[in-house]
Structure 1
Amino acid sequence: MKFRKADEMERYQSEKSAKYAFMFYTIALLVWSLFDFFTKGKTGWEFTILLIGNAIFFWSRAIYNRKMR
């Protein structure tokens, strides 16, 4: 099976979809973490997942940005 490269419109749609999915997961994990913090007095694994996911996102953006220069 041979895969074809995505055209410009498909890349644009994928980028928009990924942006909205990332925002949803970030907000959902943040709300869940804050809820746990205020009800239980501590954050759970969801806050750790949120921090690691955001660190990976911004680290990879910095690397791709550096490669483009």
Structure 2
Amino acid sequence: MKLQRADEMEQFQNDKSARNTYIFFTLALLVWSLINMFSKGETGWEFTILLIGNVIFFWSRIFYRRKMK
């Protein structure tokens, strides 16, 4: 099986799909952590996963933006 480089349309579709997935996981983890915070008084691991995921996302955006300059 040979991997091919994605054309512009495939890149656009992948970017949109990745964005929708990121939004879903962020909202799901946020809602889950808020439910736990109000019911148990603590946020739990889901909030930690949410924070780490957002740090990785924003750090990689900064990294690639600086790499492009």
Gaps of 5+ in 2: none
- 1:48 offset after TM fit, Å? 0.3
Q: Which stretches of structure 1, 4 residues or more, deviate above 2 A after TM superposition?
A: none
Give matches, 1:44-63, under 5 Å. Answer: 44-63=44-63
- 1:64 offset after TM fit, Å? 0.2
- 1:2 offset after TM fit, Å? 1.8
Q: Structure 1: which amino acid aligns with 2:12?
A: Y
1:32-57 deviation per Cα after TM superposition (whole angstroms, max 9, x unaligned): 00000000000110000000000000
Match status 1:34 vs 2:34: yes
- 1:31 offset after TM fit, Å? 0.3
Matched-pair identity in %: 65
Aligned-partner Cα distance in 1 for 2:21–2:67: 25
1:2-40 deviation per Cα after TM superposition (whole angstroms, max 9, x unaligned): 211000000000000000000000000000000000000
TM norm structure 1: 0.98
